[in-house]
Copies of this chain bind each other. A is one copy, B any other.
Amino acid sequence: MKFDTADAACLERILTWRRDVRHFLTDPVPEDLIDRLTTAMAFAPSVGNARPWRVIRVEDPGLRAAIRANFEEANRDAAGAYDDADRAEYLRLKLAGLDAAPVHLAVFTETAPEAGRGLGRRTMPETLMQSTAMAIHTLWLAARAENLGLGMVSILDPKAVEALFAVPPGWRFSAYLCLGWPAFTDDTPLLHRAHWQENAPTRWERR
């Protein structure tokens, strides 16, 4: 397999136009599209080929309401930790699309998977959580290439989410994802546009 400059340019466009989406339309996402995203997610790298991510698609209105309440409490606490000027700014930001996104996914990591037979994670068990993060990123890019938007919600009490879904003891909450059609597209992060945190340069040091 050989990739050409058009392929590299295509990936660059997908990377550039991928956003953490919090503004969704309520239109449903066709099931065949969700099937394609499920397939894409399985291509993510994973330590020992363990594929430790566990995805619960949340449709029950009671579960969704509990997640919204969890977010609202965690967000209020987070706002309370800022000084007055920052708090006012923080409260103007929209930080989750839980209100409108048609598809909700709770993503967990199996921290003691049989798959992989322990390979690659003896000294660094966090590689399992890294694998799940890369799987979420895979889903993010695949969604973008289908003109869908994805938003990752981490302003949640993870222990309360694990209790809410009564997950097996080895599962650790990784993120709650909102998926749907974005209300607008953008090549610049919302936190940069809103002057919360500009795109800071990243540098590689040489030694």
Binding site for B on A (CB under 8 A): 1-3, 6-8, 10-18, 20, 36, 38, 40-45, 47-51, 53-60, 63, 74, 77-78, 81-82, 86, 90, 93, 95, 105, 115-124, 126-127, 129-134, 136-138, 140-142, 144-147, 152, 154-158, 165, 174-175, 185, 187, 189, 191-192, 196-207
**CA of A59 to CA of B185 in the docked complex: distance in angstroms?**
41
Say whether B38 contacts A202, CB under 8 Å. Answer: yes
Which residue on B lies nearest to A187, using beta carbons?
A: B1
Rounded to whole angstroms, the CA-CA distance of A83 and B44 in the bound complex is 29
B1 touches A142 (CB 8 A): no
Instruction: Collect the chain B residues with CB atoms within 8 Å of residue A203's CB.
Output: 55
Tell whether, in the assembled complex, residue B197 and residue A116 are in contact, meaning their CB atoms are under 8 Å apart: yes
Cβ distance A48 to chain B, nearest Cβ, rounded Å:
6
Beyond A15-B142, A20-B45, A49-B197, 6 additional pairs, beta carbon < 8 A: A8-B145, A47-B154, A95-B119, A115-B200, A127-B154, A165-B207
Residues of B near A119 (CB, < 8 A) are 78, 90, 93, 95, 191, 196-197
**13 A–B contact pairs at CB < 8 A?**
A3-B13, A3-B144, A7-B10, A20-B45, A38-B204, A45-B140, A78-B118, A115-B197, A115-B200, A119-B196, A123-B157, A130-B130, A133-B137
Name the 6 nearest CB pairs between A and B, nearest first: A133-B133, A130-B133, A15-B43, A49-B197, A134-B137, A10-B10
Chain B neighbourhood of A197, CB < 8 A: 48-50, 115-117, 119
Residues in B whose Cβ lies below 8 Å from that of A17: 1, 3
Residue of B nearest to A148 (CB): B3
Hey, which chain B residues are within 8 Å of A174, CB to CB? Answer: 130
Look across to chain B and name the residue whose beta carbon is closest to the beta carbon of A57.
Answer: B206
